Amino acid sequence: MSDRVNLSDALPTHSPNGHHPKGVNQENQNKIRIRGARQHNLKNIDLELPRDRLIVFTGVSGSGKSSLAFDTIFAEGQRRYVESLSAYARQFLGQLDKPDVDAIEGLSPAISIDQKSTSHNPRSTVGTVTEIYDYLRLLFGRAGEPHCPICDRSIAPQTIDEICDRIMELPDGTRFQILAPVVRGKKGTHQKLLSSLVSEGFARVRVDGEVFQLSDSIELDKNYTHTIEIVIDRLIKKPGIQERLVDSLATCLRHASGIAVIDLLNDTSIPKQSEQTNTSYAENTPKSENVQDTSTNGENSYQQPSNELVFSENFACPEHGAVMDELSPRLFSFNSPYGACPKCHGLGNLRTFSPELLVPDPNSPVYAAIAPWSEKDNSYYLSLLYSVGQAYGFEIQAPWNKLTSEQQHIILYGSDKSIKIEDRNEYRRYAGVIPMLQRQYDETNSELVKQKLEPYLVDQLCEVCQGKRLKPEALSVRLGQYRVTDLTSVDIGQCRERVDNLKLSDRQTQIADLVLKEIRARLQFLLDVGLDYLTLDRPAMTLSGGEAQRIRLATQIGSGLTGVLYVLDEPSIGLHQRDNGRLLQTLTKLRDLGNTLIVVEHDEETIRAADHLVDIGPGAGVHGGRVIAQGDLETLLTAEESLTGAYLSGRQVIETPAQRRNGNGRSLVLKNAYRNNLRNIDVEIPLGKLVCVTGVSGSGKSTVVNELLYPALQHQLTRKVPFPKHLDTIKGLNSIDKAIVIDQSPIGRTPRSNSATYTGVFDAIRDVFAQTIEAKARGYKPGQFSFNVKGGRCEACGGQGVNVIEMNFLPDVYVQCEVCKGDRYNRETLQVKYKGKSISDVLNMTVEESLEFFKNIPKAATRLQTLLDVGLGYVRLGQPAPTLSGGEAQRVKLASELSRRATGKTLYLIDEPTTGLSFYDVHKLLDVLQRLVDKGNSILVIEHNLDVIRCADWVIDLGPEGGNKGGELIAVGTPEKVAENPRSYTGQYIKQVLQQHPAK
């Protein structure tokens, strides 16, 4: 994970003895003073904030809350810290620009906990992010009990006599050398060790599998890991060598901490073990390639080199000879070659081509069925398939599903039989679609080729470790009654119970006491922030922004810091109302430790629980940037300009609909959904309604909508994706002709993309400019007014208006283009004007201004009106897409859909659209959603916001809990019906808000 944790270079508030430094006013030390904040849309704000309090910044979306909290207060704290470092260190640190503020006084060390994704690294898990897994590795590495990976019996030490007896079972004449591994996989030149070996009288060493004379000059690269083994003795197996063998083994075991490697020098194969032997086979060096893979019941695999015996006087299985080195924490690390599964290298799964994705439509003919081969210029593949068909008795015009399973398997995986290639008149082996694509994917250096093949790849569970990531030796170690994966594969609540119920010996208890205390504390922190449904082995990349933020919040509580300024961005996102109380307790606990919390938040419960409130507004964008109210809750409720206060006090109300829609009489029905934690449920989704899917975090909402329903719709509508597994059937698909996902992903990832280009309004605006008299006289077409293509744009900056100057250890500097002065276009294009405004002037207008400007141009006005309707009137038309928040990007997508002609058979899938929205913005969003449904469309929304749920026509509530305790269908019906269900947590809160806001 990439934690954004930075400390400011600020003086401590208090001296170590509790007294304030001489000349420092104690009252000044109890406040954070901001003077002249002008970052983004802030209008020269002066503000005083109390220290050691829970401070909540509220206001409508886009009013300037994040500009003040993150881009001003936190950014200044980070800048001060980074400036205290050397220039060399600064070049490796990401740094925020200096905020536009006159002064900030009383600033504490600052830590930002925002909603950026925890990590995109597949090796990062909840356990590694929270450091709980590091403690588990230490626990099992120091107090664990090894067992045989094959028979699961406890492994006991071996004696020299047992080792000697096993070696004497080798065939007579077998040449072997006894090696003592003194360095195993460690970086360095190891010159001191090599010199000491010479002084001890040793003549040879084996380094990374190659034998050297110690008298030679051995130079090792210090940046690479090396394995060094002393050649203790070279022997030939024959009667009478026992005495020498015992002496050599004793020397070997003494130098190698109880490990002896017997390297067979001739081609003699290792004989089968008798039931009484104590032999051990293990992989000796990372470079060993002659390893045979054997699996046991698909659970564990055992590595057996064919030319080496490894013995240990520490641990070995008396029946199977399984040997283990001394237990250490790295054995349980799936990010280390010493602990990771050798097949999947610690990932738990393998990226392979999926037959279902390669053949998305089994009804299509063979020549068109294989998706990557059905593109343009596929004559070679057609010829290949034709040749395979001739050899195995099928026509390529035949439907794929009419082929036998054997024929399908041959097409996909190839055959050993040589076939005649018709167009080349030659015979050769056919490799198969999947091996050919795999080789193409592995060997290509083209990112374009990889991007084309990526959609056909899936993560397949590793057949060796079964997704557990660790090698068999690690999986066979137990602490009490549990393996390490028994603790990481269950949810946090169960994990805490298992840790509490560990059955340990007195020695283990003594070793594990401190470690268990840390593990219990960190597990409790996760429980406190409502993440009890997660498992420690869950990949961090699958966490939502809110989950990632709460994990980092739990980690900060565990650090126990005091005197710190924490800046949080909507920690309640994705959290059910039931769990809000636990989150607030966590925040107050952090405050009570002696920290100051600044929380940007829209949640009513959090606002009411704050010690100090700052309302910024009154509107968004150019209409915001001022402090409307600050102080206690009463001050906010009585502030006339405050939209937040108006909704909290009841002056403004989101009306509950008097009647719920009946819908169009059709519905989608998912039969027997059992993916993830879903418990074989049937879900009916009525169409022509606004439907909410609700439930506590982790109850299965996203699984139903995003992982089952949407892929099923895509399969029906495009045939480009396979029908989802873990779902029997879905009925009613003929009632839908289009499925659109409206999420919070960016509308574009480059500065060239903006809301005007995304919604299509810029096309209309360019047409307007192209129709002017000046443009016609010059022969300009609409393309002349695009900043993305050559012609009318400024070539000095490529149409961006700025040039980026890299400053090495300082932040990149964006310098205004000297040629166009930031206008993006060349001089000739800017001379064309409409109503006295150039195309650059239009891009700098807000949506609100441009709507007035283009009110007589229907094509432009319609799209601009939809942007205004979704609450984006403050956004500039040319504002780059990467600068839009997730909520703003989602509303741009909504506006784009609103401007389309309704078919009445469109299903919109929306995941938590209220993220980042104030009460006022939620009100506007609801109006937009109701308009979409009124056009005859259907909306399915995953939501926790009670205002959206009570205004819905239909509610599908999952639960009752998250994780293993969820996945059931708890309640279905109108909000009023769900409110009467005693099992539904959502219903309990809906009942309260319906009583507060009854339908009129």
Q: Which amino acids are annotated as binding site, given as ranges? A: 59-66, 695-702
430, 415 contact by CB (below 8 A): yes
Distance CA 81, CA 78 (A): 5
Strand partners of residue 667:
686
C-alpha of 580 from chain center = 23
Distances (CA, A) of 364 to 282, 409, 672: 50, 17, 27
Sequence-separated (6 or more) residues with CB below 8 Å from residue 773:
none
Distances (CA, A) of 459 to 349, 354, 435, 706: 6, 9, 16, 17
125, 133 contact by CB (below 8 A): yes
Distance CA 159, CA 180 (A): 16
Distance CA 658, CA 976 (A): 11
Q: Of the candidates 847, 848, 851, 843, which has an alpha carbon nearest to the alpha carbon of residue 820?
A: 843
Give φ, ψ of 305 to 5 degrees.
Answer: -65, 145
| CB atoms closer than 10 angstroms to residue 287 | 10
Q: Is the dihedral of CA 227, 230, 236, 237 positive or negative?
A: negative
567, 4 contact by CB (below 8 A): no
* Sheet architecture: strand order including 954-959: 738-742, 906-911, 938-942, 690-694, 954-959, 968-973
Sequence-separated (6 or more) residues with CB below 8 Å from residue 502:
479, 480, 481, 482, 512, 516
Rg (CA), the chain: 34
CA atoms lying within 13 Å on the CB side of residue 350: 15
Angle, to 10 degrees, between the axis of helix 919-934 and the axis of helix 858-869?
130
902, 936 contact by CB (below 8 A): yes
What angle (nearest 5°) sits at the alpha carbon of residue 795, between those of residues 793 and 797? Answer: 100
Distance CA 60, CA 918 (A): 5
End-to-end CA distance of the chain: 49
Residue indicated by tokens 């308009």: 931
Q: Of the candidates 58, 35, 41, which has an alpha carbon nearest to the alpha carbon of residue 629?
A: 58
108's tokens: 């504490």
128's tokens: 């590694």
Strands 204-207 and 291-296: unpaired
Question: Which helix (H) or strand (E) is 976 found in, with range?
Answer: helix 975-979
Question: What residue numbers does the annotated binding site for ATP cover?
Answer: 59-66, 695-702
C-alpha of 88 from chain center = 31
| CB atoms closer than 10 angstroms to residue 879 | 21
Give φ, ψ of 703 to 5 degrees.
Answer: -60, -45
Q: Helix, strand or coil for residue 824?
A: coil
Alpha helices (runs of H) in 566-697, residue ranges in sequence order: 577-592, 604-609, 633-638, 643-649
604's tokens: 């009513």
Distance CA 103, CA 431 (A): 69
Residue 394 is which amino acid? Answer: F
144, 487 contact by CB (below 8 A): no
Strands 225-236 and 954-959: unpaired
| CB atoms closer than 10 angstroms to residue 517 | 11
| CB atoms closer than 10 angstroms to residue 561 | 16
Angle, to 10 degrees, between the axis of helix 985-996 and the axis of helix 577-592?
90
